[in-house]
Every structure is written in structure tokens, then in C-alpha cells.
């Protein structure tokens, strides 16, 4: 069916209406970038793309969230495209800003052994640049985005993976959360939408189609935490002026972030059950090639952050904003599960600590 609506629309239509909170609603906002500087580019251009990010991203620091912190960015870099100079360029961005780097992987017709080897090599490569994170015992941890959306061999035609027990391997190699979804209009999209939940590997493809919601007072259950971005219908942006377009949290040159999209993301209300006043907005993009790069580093993103600041100020305390990396967002999820209340920004390092040594 067109746009995979048959997969996700029923769950979207069954969702309960969002109840407006009487106190402060905290917005935890993360941009998770499928950052692929080698997309249709050779090494020289890839390095130039990274250099442009290093030069221009700090200009966003003029904007601040409710904790006084600037916008952040999570670079999910494809480990199969490792280049020491390119990754070191990304690491420099992370050391000079609040950005962080995580694991992205494209693979096809793979095996369990091949996947495990690739993940362990990717971790080792990133650690050479002081990237990724660690738990309190010092074990290396990472978050993950699957290339071509095909997490756990989920493409119905068997494309883009090959490993139907992928969730188990991710867990065993130190993955603390997956940020792949939503993938609509791709048919790898799950029935579960607008959720933070735990999936258990069953040995069959797409084990994460359903799972157990993250809840206050409930321990982590299952093999992998999945933090989804908002997914729904955007009636304010219609094809031919009639048909609503899909809102899938994708930031592109043709569809940049706007205040109207923010309001829709809020209404889709991704949260930990029992903590509805902490709203998690996980956005995604492909930020290396243009025109997305120009959007993310130029006037459209500056305009959005300015609108966001005005929205927070105009709410007169009804909303608070917290810019987060993928790691910080996962930490705040775990803090919510543990029953923490108040300012979620206090829990950015609740469970996992970054390895990055900042230059400030």
C-alpha cells in the first residue's frame, strides 16, 4: 500500500488524545543524523563537508535551551565507510561543541559473524578518536541507526541486512538504544509508532515490530531499547491541497523544521508511560550532502531555533526546552523509568557517560 500506511496508520489512529499537562511540559529535543560524507563523494569532498560542519555549526551556539545549553547534534557515522581523517574531523567537531558521534551501519546479505565483526571493528575505530560512551563499569557503549532502515532484517524483500537476530548482537556488543525509527514511508516501518519501548529478539525478522513500553517504575525488559521519532499525518501540509502528507520527523532542505511541525511533534507525544510531562522529540536527517547541509547549517535552522526560543519564552513557563544528544536522550529515558521528576536536563549523564574530552 502507498507509503506503508497499512502498517502504521491503524496504530496512529488508535492513539489516545494527548492530555495537556497542568504543570511544565519539558521538551527533550535530539537531532540524529545519518551522517554520510562519502555520499556521492570522494575523500576530498567528504573532508570538505566535515570541515564546513566544523566551521558553521558553532554559530548555532547563540541559541540556548532552558538549561543554558546550545543546540546539539548526534552524528551517526557509517562504520563500513571508516576513514581516519574524516572521523577525526567529526571528532574535532564533537570536542569543540556539545555534539557526539554514534554508530551507523549499511550492510546486505550479512551473517551474524560478519555483523559482530563489523560492530566490534567500528567501536575500535571510533575509540581511537575518543568517541562513543561508557557505562559505570567502563564498558564501551553506543547507540545505533540501521542503514536503509532495515533493522533486524525487516525489509519485506530481505534487502539491506541479512541478520534476523540482529537485536541480540547489538545488545551483546554494547548497544544501549536504537534510533532508526520511524522509517515510513519505507515498508520497514513497525506497527509500533510514537513510542519508547523494549523489543525482544525472537529469531525472526522485525522482532521490534512490537514491544513493551518504557514505563515509570519498570525495569528494562527485553533486548533493545528503541526510541522512536514522531510519525503521523500532517493536515497542515497537503499534497494537491487535499491529501495530508506524512510527518516522519525527517529534516530536509525541502522540509526544514518549523514551529508548525514542532506543534505536531508535541501532539504526537512520544514519552515514557507515567511521565507525560517529558516529551521526547527525536528528529533525523542526512546532514552531509546538500541541500540538507545548507538547511541544517544555514538560515532555515537558525530561523527554527529562533522560533523555538520565542515559543518557549511566550509559553510563560508552560514549556521548557532541553537540547540533547542521542546518549543524553537515552539517559533521560532511563531517569524517567527510575521515577525521576522535575528537570530532565539534570539526568543527561544518568547511566552512560561520553568518552569525548571537550575543549571547553
pLDDT in tens, the chain (360 residues): 467 999 999 999 998 877 776 799 999 999 999 999 999 999 999 999 999 999 999 999 999 999 999 999 999 999 999 999 999 999 999 999 999 999 999 999 999 999 999 999 999 999 999 999 999 999 999 999 999 999 999 999 999 999 999 999 999 999 999 999 999 999 999 999 999 999 999 999 999 999 999 999 998 889 999 999 999 999 887 777 777 889 999 999 999 999 999 999 999 999 999 999 999 999 999 999 999 999 999 999 999 999 999 999 999 999 999 999 999 999 999 999 999 999 999 999 999 999 999 999
pLDDT attached to residue 1:
45
pLDDT attached to residue 37:
98
- On whether the CB atoms of residues 354 and 100 are closer than 8 A, the answer is yes
Alpha helix stretches (DSSP H) within 177-325: 259-268, 292-297, 299-314
CA distance 32 to 104: 11
pLDDT attached to residue 141:
98
Neighbour tally for 168: CB within 10 Å: 19
The three three-digit cell numbers of residue 252, written as one number: 530536509
Angle at 185 between CA 184 and CA 188, to 5 degrees: 60
- For residue 312, how many C-alpha atoms fall within 13 Å in the half-sphere facing its CB? 19
- Which helix (H) or strand (E) segment holds residue 353: the answer is strand 353-354
pLDDT attached to residue 90:
98
pLDDT attached to residue 2:
63
Tell which residue, 240, 104, 92, has the closest CA to residue 175.
104
Q: What are phi and psi of 263, to 5 degrees?
A: -65, -35
- Residue 273 is classified by DSSP as B
- How far is residue 158 from each of residues 13, 14, 85, 165, measured CA to CA in Å? 28, 29, 34, 13
pLDDT attached to residue 89:
98
Q: Which domains occur in the chain, in start order? A: 2-17+25-354 (3.20.20)
Amino acid at each position: 500500500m502507498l507509503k506503508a500506511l497499512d502498517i502504521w496508520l491503524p496504530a496512529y489512529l488508535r492513539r489516545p488524545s494527548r492530555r495537556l499537562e497542568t504543570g511544565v511540559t519539558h521538551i527533550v529535543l535530539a537531532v540524529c543524523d545519518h551522517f554520510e560524507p562519502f555520499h556521492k563523494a570522494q575523500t576530498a569532498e567528504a573532508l570538505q563537508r566535515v570541515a564546513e560542519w566544523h566551521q558553521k555549526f558553532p554559530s548555532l551556539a547563540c541559541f540556548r535551551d532552558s538549561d543554558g545549553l546550545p543546540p546539539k547534534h548526534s552524528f551517526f557515522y557509517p562504520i563500513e565507510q571508516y576513514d581516519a581523517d574524516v572521523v577525526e574531523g567529526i571528532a574535532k567537531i564533537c570536542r569543540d561543541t556539545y555534539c557526539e558521534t554514534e554508530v551507523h551501519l549499511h550492510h546486505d546479505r550479512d551473517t551474524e559473524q560478519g555483523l559482530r565483526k563489523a560492530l566490534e571493528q567500528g567501536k575500535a575505530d571510533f575509540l581511537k578518536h575518543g568517541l562513543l560512551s561508557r557505562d559505570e563499569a567502563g564498558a564501551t557503549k553506543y547507540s545505533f541507526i540501521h542503514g536503509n532502515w532495515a533493522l533486524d532484517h525487516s525489509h519485506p524483500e530481505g534487502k539491506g541486512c541479512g541478520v534476523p537476530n540482529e537485536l541480540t548482537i547489538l545488545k551483546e556488543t554494547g548497544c544501549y538504544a536504537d534510533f532508526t525509527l520511524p522509517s515510513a514511508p519505507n515498508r520497514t516501518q513497525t506497527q509500533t509508532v510514537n513510542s519508547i519501548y523494549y523489543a525482544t529478539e525472537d529469531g525472526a525478522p522485525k522482532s521490534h515490530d512490537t514491544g513493551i513500553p518504557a514505563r515509570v517504575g519498570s525495569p528494562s525488559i527485553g533486548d533493545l531499547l528503541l526510541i522512536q521519532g514522531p510519525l503521523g499525518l500532517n493536515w497542515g501540509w497537503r499534497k494537491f491541497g487535499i491529501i495530508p502528507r506524512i510527518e516522519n520527523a525527517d529534516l530536509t532542505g525541502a522540509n526544514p523544521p518549523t514551529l508548525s511541525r514542532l506543534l505536531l511533534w508535541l501532539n504526537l507525544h512520544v514519552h515514557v508511560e507515567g511521565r507525560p510531562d517529558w516529551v521526547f522529540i527525536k528528529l533525523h536527517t542526512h546532514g552531509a550532502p546538500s541541500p540538507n547541509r545548507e538547511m541544517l547549517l544555514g538560515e532555515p535552522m537558525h530561523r527554527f531555533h529562533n522560533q523555538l526560543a520565542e515559543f518557549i519564552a511566550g509559553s510563560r513557563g508552560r514549556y521548557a526546552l532541553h537540547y540533547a544528544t542521542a546518549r543524553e536522550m537515552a539517559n533521560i529515558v532511563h531517569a524517567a523509568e527510575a521515577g525521576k521528576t522535575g528537570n530532565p536536563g539534570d539526568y543527561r549523564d544518568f547511566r552512560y557517560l561520553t568518552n569525548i574530552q571537550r575543549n571547553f
